């Protein structure tokens, strides 16, 4: 939050960009770090409201899949969601277009691998979940698989922007006021609060 806006301001000055001339603002809409998503969304919403421009929310794992443009077979981004879970989705390219096979979701890694085994197609993995779950993938997956190289295996602002252009042309926009990040799962703080409340009510009932 302390560096993002000054960085954006510096970029605008370096490129001599008139912000009034932009058509829309693409933003990674989640999942991801709750704090990071809130900062990114708040920044995009603020700019959208100030400039009166629409937002284009790009699912984080969809943008990850877009790193592997025109790869054959299934593409499966995996982000480590802790507790043996991943944020993921399943995608493929058809006629040079990214298609969603299964929407982004929070799911256990073994459940995901079972899903992929049932689909019976070769799959390419990428994302920060790869080094975490590489061994279990090799052990449990029965279909051919590969891992994207490191330089393509992380979230890239360029992929969010490129998808933003495509989705803007398709009319897939929202107002700044409408935009909300997609956490897919409640935050750790919210989980801990829910557990405390549950224990408190159990104690009262006892």
Sign of the CA dihedral running 81, 86, 89, 92: positive
Q: Measured between alpha carbons, how far is 108 from 117 in angstroms, rounded to an integer?
A: 14
How confident is the model over 151-177, as pLDDT tens digits?
A: 999 999 999 999 999 999 999 999 999
How confident is the model over 15-26, as pLDDT tens digits?
A: 999 999 999 999
Token couple for 95: 């006629």
How confident is the model over 68-104, as pLDDT tens digits?
A: 999 999 999 999 999 999 999 999 999 999 999 999 9
How confident is the model over 176-191, as pLDDT tens digits?
A: 999 999 998 765 545 4
The DSSP string of 90-130 is EEEEETTEEEEEEEEEEEEHHHHHHHHHHHT--EEEESTHH
Q: Measured between alpha carbons, how far is 49 from 72 in angstroms, rounded to an integer?
A: 40
């Amino acid at each position: 939050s302390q560096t993002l806006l000054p960085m954006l301001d510096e970029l605008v000055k370096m490129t001599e960009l008139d912000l009034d001339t932009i058509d829309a603002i693409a933003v990674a809409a989640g999942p991801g770090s709750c704090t990071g998503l809130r900062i990114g969304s708040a920044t995009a919403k603020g700019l959208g409201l100030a400039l009166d421009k629409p937002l284009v929310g790009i699912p984080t794992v969809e943008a990850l899949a877009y790193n592997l443009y025109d790869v054959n077979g299934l593409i499966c981004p995996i982000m480590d969601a802790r507790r043996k879970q991943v944020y993921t989705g399943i995608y493929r390219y058809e006629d040079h277009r990214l298609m969603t096979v299964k929407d982004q979701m929070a799911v256990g890694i073994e459940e995901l691998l079972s899903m992929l085994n049932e689909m019976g197609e070769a799959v390419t993995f990428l994302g920060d979940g790869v080094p975490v779950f590489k061994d279990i993938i090799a052990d449990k997956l029965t279909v051919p698989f590969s891992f994207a190289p490191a330089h393509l295996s992380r979230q890239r602002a360029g992929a969010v922007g490129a998808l933003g252009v495509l989705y803007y042309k398709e009319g897939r926009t929202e107002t700044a006021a409408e935009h909300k990040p997609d956490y897919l799962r409640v935050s750790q703080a919210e989980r801990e609060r829910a557990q405390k409340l549950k224990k408190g009510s159990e104690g009262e009932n006892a």
